[in-house]
Amino acid sequence: MSNQVYANGMEISCKESTGKTICAFPDVCFTPPQTPATPPGVPLPYPNTGMSSDTTDGSKSVLISGQEIMLKNKSYFKKSTGDEAGCAPKKGFVNSSIQGKVYFTAWSMDVQIEGENAVRNLDQTTGNHACPNSNESAPWPFIAGEAIAPNGACHSAVTAMKDHCSSPTDTSDSCCAVPQRQCVMVPKRSDKSCCCPNHGTTGHHAIPKQEMCEEGSAGKRPLKGNEGYKHEDAPCVCAEGGSPGKRDGDGMVGSHGLFHNAYKQGRTLHLEQSQPWDYPSAKTVAAQSVSKETQCPVDCIEKQIAVYHDSRIKVVRVSKQYEFVDDV
């Protein structure tokens, strides 16, 4: 059950909440058998899961439902599970550990508890730590009861996937056959390993990186006020086509182009109505453009966009560099 205590519109993570990091992936661990060809064992990736009920070193004087609250760079979940099979002597590829701690890598920028930033549901995490460096190659959203509850933003997508997918980034045929699997947004740096082939393996930034960075910088020089933005870590929807204007043999634009066109149309309509083009507007248009071309609820997409961008983006612009293809 949700505790209904919020920071920036997201439920605060505490020991009493129902939050969990759902099957973060991949955590590479050495796995038996050990052979002359692979002396330390076979390196295999495992999904990691952590539970908020394992909260450790949380708040002391400020409590929710009588239990401690997660705090920036201080609190953690005392263990993660899912990599137990990686039990060769070397264990974790990076830290020689399994069932390590879960740490958060994002938090509220303006809500503090006992002088530390408050951690919220959907903030990003990494798992299997023996120290602040993790085995996982990329952080994954933290999903608490508020997001997957019957009235939660992503409940319908989670319900559609639960009987077919072993994790949010499962790329098996049975999981990828579920249309709502495309609702799981991934960091750009992980698109090739975490996107389903039938959805495409190009990560499309829901809010184009050019809109938040200097002209001609290829998304590498954020505008003043956006210094925390890194396009490699920003949420993407899986799309077909390496270029938004690329057409296949039948002359059709892939889904990457369709996402771009939908964003362009929404932005153009917004500007034609003489409305200011700011970050909240870009977030709304981005969520609507993804939802238009998928079977994903607008609020679920917007929630994922907000997790990364809300604390990092202050300014957006109408990028001249950002080119679009004609409607098809």
Q: How large is the average pLDDT for residues 164-177?
A: 82
Chain centroid to CA 289: 18
CA distance 94 to 39: 16
Q: Taking the CB of residue 232, how many other CB atoms lie within 10 A of it? A: 15
The answer to whether 82 and 49 are in contact (CB under 8 A) is yes
DSSP string over 239-295: ES-SSTT-B-TTS-B-HHHHHHHHHHHHHHHHHHTT----HHHHHHHHHHHHHHTSS
Task: Summarize pLDDT for 32-86 with one digit per residue, the tens.
Answer: 887 766 677 777 666 667 777 788 888 999 998 888 988 887 887 777 676 666 6
Chain center to CA of 27: 16
The larger pLDDT score, comparing residue 94 to residue 234, is at 234
Tracing tokens 């490699």 back to the chain, one arrives at: 232
Range ranked top by mean pLDDT from 48-52, 200-204, 312-316, 322-326: 312-316
Of 299, 285, 312, the residue nearest 151 (C-alpha): 299
pTM for the predicted model, two decimal places: 0.59
- Beta bridge pairs of residue 81: 49
Judge whether residue 106 has pLDDT over 80.
Answer: no
What is the Cα–Cα distance from 317 to 279, expressed in whole angstroms?
Answer: 9
Q: For residue 214, what pLDDT is reported?
A: 92
Q: Where are the domains of the chain?
A: 6-146, 173-309
Cα(284)–Cα(267) distance, integer angstroms: 10
Instruction: Say if residue 42 is exposed, middle or buried (CB neighbours under 10 Å; 0-12, 13-18, 19+).
Output: middle
Burial of residue 48 (CB within 10 Å: 0-12, 13-18, 19+) is buried
Q: What is the pLDDT of residues 195-221, one digit of tens each?
A: 888 888 889 999 999 999 998 888 899
Letter string b/e over residues 176-186, b meaning 16 or more CB atoms within 10 A of that residue's CB: bebebbbbbbb
**Residues 166 and 313 sit within 8 Å (Cβ to Cβ):** no
